[in-house]
Structure 1
Amino acid sequence: MATTSDEQAAGQHYLVCGIQDCQRNGQFYCNDCHQPMCEQCKDEHRKSPNNKNHDIVLYRQRKHRLPTEKCKLHPTKNVDIFCKECKTPLCLKCFLTEDHKGHEFDDLEEIYAKKYAVWQGEFSKIQKYFLPTLEDLKTDIKEDVKEIKKIMESIRTSMKAEAESLKNLVDEVTSEKIECTHTMEKSLIQMLKSQETTYNDFITYLGKMSDKFQEYLSTTKQKLLSSEILKIQSIPETSKLVPPVFTAGQFNRDDVAKLLGRVNVPNTEPERRKVQPMEAVSTPMKFTEKQLEQSKEKSDMKPTLSLSSSVTKVREYSVPGVNNAFHVSADKSGRLWVSDNNGNLVQTDLQGNLLQKIQTSGGSDGYHTATQDGGLIYTDRDKKKIYRITPDRKISEFLKTGDWEPVSVHSSRINGDILVGMKKDRRAKVTRYNKAGKEIQNIQRDNQGQELYDYPHYITENINGDICTSDFNNRAVVVVNKSGKHRFSYTGQGSWFRPYGICTDVLGHILVCDGINYTVHLLDQDGEFLSVILSKQQGINDPCGVCVDDENNLYVGQDYTNTVTVYKYLE
């Protein structure tokens, strides 16, 4: 098989001139001779009278050479002519036959070159426009899936809350009605006892009358005849009580359904997905000189720290290789690990340069953590394993979690223990492993035996050993002490709260992202709300991941952007 000029040049740093032994850059191309040329050889080639009409162009504008094809009727001849009348490729011998006398012909190589250019252009569109655009649209759909899941989960939670409210109301009304029956029963029994007392009194009366009759009967006949006849009173009349009757309420399933509201899709014209025009050119985000200068600055740590009166933006990273920044981990060297909801996990330096990238099964959870030795630990939910990355970038299996899916992970700065938030079916727990990967503690229920967790998707540890967990489904930050005893749960400052990324600082503060109200809350060590430390006023749109480095810088990652912003809030 013949080797093309492109293939010959594949192993070179540049295309070599095809004239004799010339080794200069062949940046030109002779469409008649079908060979690359350097500028000097091109000029020499044109000086020859035989070549003065040759078509010499830049190499990228060359005509592609017609592939060699033998004529079926004349096997020794190449097909290079096209009969316009018969619409058939021909060789020179076919061209001279009577069958094609008087026909119009075209140069088959010209036709091939034009067709090649057209199809090459279409192929280029597929590679440079259609496929990348479709990937963007797929990413957009994935974001919509995430948003729909978030909305539907919120609707389900609202429905449950509404149903619980209705149940409580039903219980309250039922209790009132039952209490009413007790009062009614007491009144009716009192009436019946009153009747019983009336009859008891009449029996006493009859006893007295019996005594008188016996007395009279025992006297002499004369005295009995002279005595008045005693009349017995009539038995007192009483009435039987009419017992109460319960009339069942008139309602059915539809009535209950109306009370609990309904879910429907608004009759609104859906917005069309935006498709980038083919001529548009996307440029990667880069640091400004000011940002690069800021990234080199070091903060002077004071002997004592306290909350600053304001939050100051220090710098921003545009993180390559991720679509958004759902979780952020800063290691001891100041380098940054960032993950998105598509399983991309990348490491960058202080200037935002990509150092390494790995594909994981993780999503919008806190599934990686920087370790004390400068490495990283991350979970694999699908394989139910936890992996370790050493500072020299070697990846190895650290431990297996059995039937439980590891959702979130944190490496303790106190003793190096590994805390893992896990799920299995409808159960969840937090498990502690030592640095060797041995299981040493399981936390699943409170003192009353109630489940503590539902979906512990971010986890961290405070300076006092408290384990702080963002529980997505419980809509709460659940905090237990180092022994696993429940201390408190933080449920936000309003009716809507959805905790995401969580971290703590050297003062024991707890910082947590609210994915519903797009804010970052600051709590004290005991769960008391101190302030909304970041909101849209500081340029935060959808905070998801937070961490604090050794210099007390607060890193905030967001959804819908690959930007990580760094703030100072301690002084």
Structure 2
Amino acid sequence: MDPLNAQELVPCNLCETSIVQMHCVTCFVQLCKACVGEHISTDESKNHKVVKFESRNSTPLFPPCASHGKEQCEMYCRHCDVPVCHTCLGSGKHFSHKLSKIVDVLDEKKNLIRKEHNELNKTIYPTYQNIAVDVQKTISQLETEYGDLSTAVTKYGANLHREIDQLARKLITQLDEMKTLQLQTLKTQLGEINKTIADIKDEMDSLDIAVDSNDISKLCSVKSRLNHYKNLPKKILPSVPKFTPEKIQIEEVRKLFGALKSDFDQSEEHRYSIKKTQKVHDVESSLIDQTSPETRCVPPVKKLHENPKFTSNGITFSGSPLNLACLKNDTFWVCGDSSTMALYDDNQLSLRDSFHQEPPIKRITTKSGKRPADITVSRRGRLIYTDYKNRTVNIVKNENILKVIELKNWRPQGVCSTFSGDLLITMERDDNKQSRVFRYSGSKEKQSIQFDSEGNRLYSSDGSHKYICENNNLDICVADSGGQAVVVVNHEGILRFRYTGHTPAPENKPFSPKGITTDSQSHILTSDSNNYCVHIIDEDGHFLRYINCEKCSISGLCTDTKDNLFLLRFKKLNFFQTLSHVTRIKYLE
């Protein structure tokens, strides 16, 4: 509103008739010129400051002194952080303190407020608007996805009902056919019996006539059929089939129908952040994928092949293998006993009669020049590797290697990237007397897993390598070759089970788990170099099947998004030379 127009509408606070023309800054009272003198004389103890009405907001309103109420404070003690009047200054209480004019402090405060207003207006407010749009988008997406899931469950239930109805109709049809056949047999026999009854009655009538006759010729012509009628018909006992329904186990029905699998028991919370210009060395925020888990629907049920199919004979390279990690775009990383990690294309794997060598798409050399302890791929497709020698975990971004984590007194071994974007790392103390699993969010420690509920060590401490992966149900799975077991704990680190192999083993040798991976069905797959095979177990640790690997030792393995299994196999040609190759296997229908 225009101040002049506002002035025309405001009456004097004293006479309440004239239009306001002046303003007392001290008392915050609107006055006409005629009432100014009366207002000042009413309370002469105050230092009244009267200005024009339109200048009221531009004139500073000096605060009253807390110690000398009748005086106004025109100075500000920065040491005591309080306004002070001239009497305060004269008392010597603020001697040697840094003093400023209160109008200067006023300007500083206004500048701070303007900056805050500017940040709220240009950054905070738009951020909240974007968050509101994001939440609304998430709500819409959630409603759509839950709607799709409900439709899928309903459709699957209808399909099961249809299958059950078809089975019931098939059984009823079989019952009708059996009933018709048996009734037809009995009715045919009944007709024959009724005809025999009629014949016997006729025979009895003929015998009565013969008995009443004295005609010797007729009597001699009577032939006895008594023995014929004594030969009674066979009794047909129809056999009604028995219906023996299978005993319904509710758990089996639930398993058959399927279940909902969620990433977490409740929605995971993540802080929104205000977008700022990112610094080059901001490792924690830029490298690790600190995003909420992707929405994952229940995967379609797949069955294990009776005879897994080798769909390729592999890519061959020299040296001892270590592990491999699959990407989403049909590529995979391989590392071995050198400092080089190589990227290959899935198309380079083809079914050939002999092993063949292919050049990699890309090569990355570790920053330390030492062999990596393990590799994994983040959810954004970035290569992550552990360096046992210099105790670091590193990430490759645009072919630049950046250190994410550096340990003290511990050395990293296996590594995996979780659904939530965290890193799970197996590590060994320098003295090889302790092993543990650590969860990191960026470079911050979140969780340590080392002992079970009774205080017993979960993992062996003999310096043996331990590979790690996360299952679809968020279980943490570790292949502990030193402990000859696959150790599985839940998301909270509570022991679920230990898998120690299956008997009989293909080579009748001790179980020696090396690499480990999981698939869309929550199967856990681990390589067993001693027995030249891969063990497949379910999410509860029950053995399902072996995959025979043709007398080759296996080091690493991984699965891609299509549930293809990639194996890193090797054969020692002699003491100095090892031949390694990658093989792809289709083991799910």
TM-score by length of 2: 0.43
TM-score by length of 1: 0.44
